[in-house]
Amino acid sequence: MKRNTYRKIISTTLIALLGTATQAHRVAGASAGTAEEQIEETMKRLSTREKIAQLFCFAYGDFQTGKDLEIRKKAVRMGIGGIIIDDGDIEATSRQLNAFMDDAKTPLFIALDGEWGAGMRYYSVPSFPRQMQLGALSDESLIYRMGELIGKECRDLGFNVNFAPVVDINNNPGNPVINTRSFGEDRDKVTRFSIAYMLGMQSAGVAGSSKHFPGHGDTNVDSHKGLPVIEYDRTRLDSLELYPFRKHIEAGADMIMVGHLSVPALDPTGTPSSISRPMLTDLLRNEMGFKGVICTDALTMKGLVNGSDLTQDEIPLASFMAGADILLMPKDMMASMKIIRKALRKRVITMEQLDEKVRRILLLKAKLGLFDEDRRISLDGIRERSIRKENLDLMDEIAEKTMTLVSGNPSKPVAGQRSVYLAYMDTSAQEGSFEGVGGYPGLNPEKTAEMFLETLREYDSSVEFMKYDGTPEQLESIRSYDRIIVGYHNYNIRKQNVYDIPEEVLNFMYSLPEDRLTSVYFGNPYILDRIEWRRLGTFIIAYQNTTFNAKAAAKVVQNVIPAHGVLPVSAGGLPCGYYFTE
C-alpha cells in the first residue's frame, strides 16, 4: 500500500506513533456497519433543504448578538452542518455552543481555526508555537505529541475539527500571509511535521484539515486581500506545492482545505482554485484520489470575491459545482442555500451530487463519534481547565529545543564580571498585547522581558537591567560592561507588519563591542535578511515573544542548555537547516 510505503521514509519514532494514531482515530467513531446505518438513517430523514444546509459552516463569536445571532440560531434549526468559532470569551462562547448543539437535529461540526491550538481564538488559553518555530526542531516526535494535546484540548472545549495543519511550503520570504504559519521551506520536513501534527490530532478524535490546496507558500499576495497567481509549470507543482498534499492523502487525511489561488498550469482559465473544477474534481478528487471532505477557505475572502465574476451569493454554488463539500463562511447563508436549491430544481446540479457530498460529511461525523456521544461542553471550571499542565510542560520543552544559534557561542557567567541586560521593546508595533491568564503566556513584551531577566538572574544574580532609550549617555554607560545581553522583544513576526528593527536602534547596537555582545531576537528568522547580524555578536533566534521562549533563551544565553534549533528557512545568507558550530 502507498501509505505503508510512505511510512518507510518517516523517522523510527513516528512509525510507532502512526499506527497508534490511526487505530485511535478509528476507535473514536462508530464501527463501519454502525456508521453506514447512522448515515443512511440520517439521509432518509433529511429534507432537501436540510441536506443543502449540511454543506454550510458559519462563523460564531460571542460578539454576535441581535439579528446576527438570530440568523445563526435559525440556521442551526434548518440543519446547518457546522460552526467555526471566531475570537471570543471561552465561557460565553461555550455556553452558546451548547445551545446550538441542543437545537441541532444532526450533529454539528464544531470547528476551530487553531493552528497553534485553542489559544489562537481564546486568548485566555496558552498557545503552542507557530509552525515556523516548530520547524526549528530536528525531528517530528514532539510535533505528534503537540497534535495529540491540541486534539485533547479541542475535544474538552467542544471542537471536533481543527483547520490545521498548514502544509504550505514557505519558500518565498516575502509571503505576507503564510510565512511563520509554515514549518519552513524544506519540502520533506514540512511534509513529515504536518503529517505528525495531523495524526496526533486524529489520535485524540479530532479531524484536521490540511491546507491550503494546491499550495499557498510561494506567493507574495495575501488571499484575504487579493488573488495570488502561481505561475509555475506542472512539473514544479508536482515536485513541490502538491507533494505534501499527496502524502497527506496517503497518510489518511480526513479533510483538505482549498485556498483561493489562480494556478494557470492546473486551470488555464485562471479561475480561483476554490471554484475550479479542474483543480478540485479533476486533480484533487480524481487524479490524486482524495476520498475525504473538501472544505473551502472562507468564501468572503477578496482573493475569491475579486478573482471571479460572481456575486457573493453565487459563489457557494460555483464551489459546489467545482467539487467542494463544505462551504465555509459565505456572506449570506440563506441566500446561497436558496440559489443551490434553485439549481437543483433546474437540474444544473443533481440530487446524486448533493447526496454524495452529504454522505461524505456524515461519514466523517460518524468517524468522529458525533452520533454516539454527549457533545455538550462542561462549563464547570472551564477557564482553569483550559490551562493544562501537560501543555505548558510541552511548550517549555519545545522552546528549549528550538532556540537557534546563528553566530558565536554563549559563555558561562564569570565571577566578578559586570553583566547588563538591555531590553528593546517596540510596543508601538505589537500585533496585539495582552496579559493572558495565570501568566500564561500573553503577548506582552514587558512580561516577556521580565521573564527573560528573571531567568538570567537565576544563573547570575548580578545581571543589571536597562530599558533601551537610545541616548548617547546610555550607549557610553553600556560600553563599560564586561557582558552585554540585548533582548529584542518585538512581536512583529508577520511579513505584512513591519518586523524590522529600526535603523537608529541597529546603529546603536552596531556600536557595541561585538566580543562582549549577545543578541536575542524574539521574532521572525527572516530578520537575518534585513540586518547585519554578524555585527551583533552571539546571535540567537527565539522566534516569538512568549514567556516560554524567554525562559529557554535565557538558559541558552547563560550556557545552561545548548541551542538545539536549526533554521527552518534560508535567511541572511545561511541555508535552511543551519545552526552554528565552531
Q: Which of 168, 254, 297, 460 is catalytic?
A: 297
How confident is the model over 184-225, as pLDDT tens digits? 999 999 999 999 999 999 999 999 999 999 999 999 999 999
Beta strands per DSSP E along 99-186: 109-112, 161-162
The whole-number pLDDT of residue 412 equals: 87
Average pLDDT over residues 259-276: 98
Phi and psi, residue 314, nearest 5°? -85, -20
Annotated catalytic residue 89: no
Between 187-203 and 12-28, two packed helices, what is the crossing angle to 10 degrees?
40
C-alpha cell at 321: 459545482
Owner of C-alpha cell 505589537:
430
DSSP-assigned letter for residue 371: T
**Distance between CA 165 and CA 194 in Å, rounded?**
6
Nearest to 253 by CA among 222, 292, 205, 219: 292
**Distance between CA 539 and CA 528 in Å, rounded?**
10
How confident is the model over 247-260, as pLDDT tens digits? 999 999 999 999 99
Contacts of 136 by beta carbon, 8 Å cutoff, 6+ apart = 401, 402, 403, 404, 541, 543, 565, 566, 567, 568
How confident is the model over 348-391, as pLDDT tens digits? 999 999 999 999 999 999 999 999 877 899 999 999 999 999 99
Phi and psi, residue 544, nearest 5°? -140, 155
pTM: 0.92
